[in-house]
Structure 1
Amino acid sequence: METSTKEKSFSCEECGATFSYKTNYKRHLQTHTGVKPYRCELCGSSFSYNYRLKLHIQIHNGVKPHPCLVCGSAFSTKKVLELHVRTHTGEKPYSCETCGSTFSYNSNYKRHVRMHSGEKPYSCDVCGSTFSYDSNFKKHMKTHSGDKPYACKMCPSQFSDPTNFKRHVRTHTGEKTYSCELCGSSFLRNDHLKSHMRKHSGDRPHACELCESSFPTKSHLKRHMYTHTGERPHSCQVCNSSFSTRSVLKVHMRTHTGEKPFSCDVCGSAFSDRANLKRHMLTHGGEKRFSCEVCGCLFLTNDYLKSHMRKHSGERRFSCEVCCSAFVTKLHLKRHMKTHTLKTQLLNQI
């Protein structure tokens, strides 16, 4: 039996694809131009092809004519059913040539490949930031729109992203759902647990290109880089002091507000940051583990020991910007600065 084949006379100049029929050729061109003339009147979604709009309409109508023979779940299209069946069969037809990872879905495979290639196809027209994943791009765009539909009922905080909102709520409830199997420490977020696990493994994958230092997290590396650049991008709007990280600025602001959210359960003393509370707790029976090799004095913390060692070395790190006097500790500098303040007050009274 003879079969006739129609010549593919319509060729796409963009990608080289060829078509026998002009209608198919025109339909294909829309994939390059981004034109989506078929719009859903119910939700506003638009589509390149009419048949995709019809499939979409079934979602609104609740029509799911394709049932799964294994679990009974029903789906609006045969294609979605075929993808679902892979959850039962374990089929993973998409394999990464770089690391060998396999995936059930092409979309997950493409996302994974970008980890190796570094490709960031999603670009922000406002600030130029680029992203590997559409979900991250959409989250970022909300930072420009100012849209924050997720409001905390316990404080005035608002969030554009539901994940960040849920994380925030845990800071009020104290819920720590991520637990370390080695030491029992628990964390609010999974990424905090992963960073913590590197303390056990000793893994420091983030290396500084300027010196030999390496760090367990990218944020630690970023903070470290400021020591090379001297950059202090976070400024205090009250006194114009600047800081390398937002967290240090936040602690600094408490010197203006007087806020002391960290309190001692033993004596009730309150502190502006957690590190000072930890130091204080050592005074309630903490062992003096840090010893001076020069004179044998013992100290509760390594910071106290370092300050003490300057007495032996003669190092005076803290300088007065008014008269150039130098001091061993920041506390001594603060005391000294009061002498300038007092002189200024007396001169103003004359």
Structure 2
Amino acid sequence: MNTKLPAHSDTPRQGVHFIDIEPEQAGQRIDNFLITKLKGVPKSRIYRILRKGEVRVNKGRCKPEYRLKAGDQVRIPPIRMEEKPTAPAPPQFQIDRLEAAILFEDKGLLILNKPCGLAVHGGSGLSFGLIELLRASRPTAPYLELVHRLDRETSGLLLVAKKRSYLRALHEQLRGDSIRKHYRALVCGQWDLGTHHERAPLYKNTLSSGERIVRVDERGKSAHTLFKPISRFKAASYMEVELFTGRTHQIRVHAAHIGHPVAGDEKYGKQVCNRDLKQYGLKRLFLHAYRLEFTHPGSNQPMDIIAPLDNELGAVLDALEAGQA
């Protein structure tokens, strides 16, 4: 029997309900599934109802590490939910800007050309990130998750899964090096290293302020970046860069390590170079995720997607080319 709350209580309490697990939900641990479903419920409370057997799968008790299967029926007991203030809606112009950046979309996958300055997640003083904007523009979408990430200052191609099975398949491709990620970058100075493979290990620190700093350090994780020159100017060099690993700030730290930091990089770059390149119109980090090659998880067909440089970065290259004369 479900117990009713006293009339004076203003804390919402949901009754017993049952959830049938769909194929897209299969494979999740039951504890992670409940944490997602029971927003506002402390994790300690979730693990307590699991230990006490109040959560049932197919009418039987289950452990937190149980992985759900398609067709399972999950019983969730009555549980108090904390009230949360209604989150403000993102401005429509931000949603429209993001919708205009979508290059490809089908039932399981979304590919967009992320604008510079847009974080993939809200936080650190930002009310809305890319994923929050997508969810606001698609309120009925059952699933939207980032496949990988780009720095806030980096523009370019980003994959978003609309199905859990697509996310799993694309993560497997990432782990198996089946996704090829190509970037375009402007680096300081005249590049004289030819085609260069950089493999310096990268070590990540998080400062007390929450800022992430990455440096070359033997204690770090392995990293592999390929640099290929496209054209050289008096003040900088235009490069194709391919990532073979996906470490935080990898291109930026490797480029700085070999003496050619990415132009416009305020964290790892050279102030003099950044200042000099402003006369060519550079006002941001010149790093763009230009091309992605992978296998579509649904059709198994090869995908080769290109996001050309935006007008702002293109104008910088034009100005550098004109300065050669």
Instruction: Determine which structure has the larger strand proportion and give its number.
Output: 2
- TM-score tier (shorter): under 0.3
Normalised to the residue count of structure 2, the TM-score between the two structures is 0.20
Normalised to the residue count of structure 1, the TM-score between the two structures is 0.19
